[in-house]
Chain A
Amino acid sequence: MSALTPQTHRSSGNAPLTRASELAADVKALMAAGDRDRACARFEELVAQQQRRAVRIAYHYLRDAHDADEAVQDAFVKVFTHIGSYREDYPFEVWFTRILVNGCLDLRKARARRLRWSVPMTTTPDGVQVDPPSPDRGPEASLLSGARGKEITAAVARLPERQRTVFTLCQIGELSTSEVSQSLGLSEATVRVHLFRAVRKLRQLLER
């Protein structure tokens, strides 16, 4: 039913859902009806619509193109295989971002385990642990052309984990503080605090 009338989707707050949420609801309905081919076609539209944002989040989070590629692929495959558990009144972006971020965290843990014995972890004077560099090449160094870009990316990388996550989702993932709070299971006030601390720390780092 919902596959035929996507315009009728509404969030719990009666605000119209985004196009991504409509597409996700369609995919769910088509899968429930056993029409896998049409569900796949719809899902491809959804992937095309969300892909760029997903890649930006994953890349900024992992700072490695191969890992980001893998994380995004895995997240979309997971979304499709678990589409039955998607709630139509919930913004798709929030649900998807949560899946993507969890995948990125898992990949980062796996990468840290791989590199534990080969690359020493470095720690900043204030105790903030810096992620190990990418095994293939440093994305900051090779992908950003301007010196300012390098500075900024290095500064973001030095943020504590939680602040970086919140900051990445807000600024790169283009989610609102409310959506970030839903994605991470934090209160909106906590998200704002993390965000403010991240901005303040970034300013300190960039002023040096």
Chain B
Amino acid sequence: MFIRSRHLADDRIVDACLDGALSASEAGHLDACPGCDARRAEFSRLLMDVSVAAAEGADEAFPEARLTRQRSRIMQRLVQHGQPGRLLAFPGSAIEPAPLSARPRPATRWIAAAAAAGLALGLLAGHLTDRLTPANSRRASQAVLRSLGDTGSAQSVGTVRQLSEEEFLSELDAAVSGVGSDALRPFDALTPRISEVALRE
């Protein structure tokens, strides 16, 4: 490989630089030939430079203090190795929690009782609301009719239904701005304005 006439090939010169593994004739040639000797010097310098650069980089990144820390960390890991894992307390609680079975639990009972009472109250309120809602609706309808009284007291709900939607809403607006408007405020809040609808379209 890469033989130059009688000169030593590069791989032999590299071998010579690494561990001096040369035959007697090769070693003799190397000593006598200035060209081969120069190549050996070049390879040696290259290898030396690499070693120095690598050592410098690593030694700079790992000064003695860091090696000491690393060593103590290794020993710490060895000590911990094979030991059961520790149970850490929840952050912020300085006192170690007692086992669940040994703890008194009055608070748990109170919480359960409060939850049951809340549920019962909720059901009761639901029933009451259900009963009261139709009456409210009736009252609201009567209020609307009262407010429309100036157009004719005998007008029925059926008459109102015959009105177009736009007319009905206009009348509602007029009623809101008139007497007894308090009862209609919830309707007002729920009903979109004509101008808003027109804008959307």
Contact = CB atoms under 8 A, between A and B. Distances in A.
Interface of A: 40, 43-44, 47-48, 51-52, 55-56, 59-60, 65, 68-69, 72-73, 76-77, 80-81, 139-140, 143-146, 148-149, 152-153, 156, 167-168, 170-172, 176-177, 192-193, 195-196, 199-200, 202-203, 206
A140 B57 contact: yes
A171 B81 CA distance: 34
A202 B49 CA distance: 11
Given A60-B57, A149-B53, 16 more contacts: A47-B74, A65-B62, A69-B62, A69-B70, A72-B70, A80-B78, A140-B57, A144-B53, A149-B57, A153-B54, A168-B54, A170-B18, A171-B47, A172-B50, A199-B14, A202-B46
B57 A144 contact: yes
Interface string B9-36: 0110011001100000000000000000
B167 interface: no
A181 to B, nearest CB: 13
B75 A40 contact: yes
A40 to B, nearest CB: 6
Interface residues of B, number: 35
A52 B53 contact: no
A68 B75 CA distance: 17
B55 A43 contact: no
A148 B61 contact: no
21 contacts: A43-B78, A44-B75, A51-B70, A52-B67, A55-B62, A55-B67, A56-B55, A56-B58, A59-B58, A73-B77, A77-B78, A81-B81, A140-B57, A143-B60, A144-B56, A148-B49, A149-B57, A170-B18, A176-B19, A195-B14, A196-B11
Nearest to B47: A171
Given A47-B71, A77-B78, A196-B10, A56 B18 contact: no
Interface of B: 10-11, 14-15, 18-19, 42-43, 46-47, 49-62, 66-67, 70-71, 73-75, 77-79, 81
Dominant secondary structure at the B interface: helix
A196 B14 CA distance: 6
- Best-buried of A139, A144, A146, A199 by chain B (most CB within 10 Å): A199
- Best-buried of B10, B15, B51, B58 by chain A (most CB within 10 Å): B58
Contacts of B77: 73, 77
A60 B54 contact: yes
Contacts of B52: 149
A47 B76 CA distance: 13
Contacts of A170: 18
A101 to B, nearest CB: 15
- Best-buried of B52, B55, B66 by chain A (most CB within 10 Å): B55
Contact of A139 (B15, B19, B61): B61
A149 B56 contact: yes
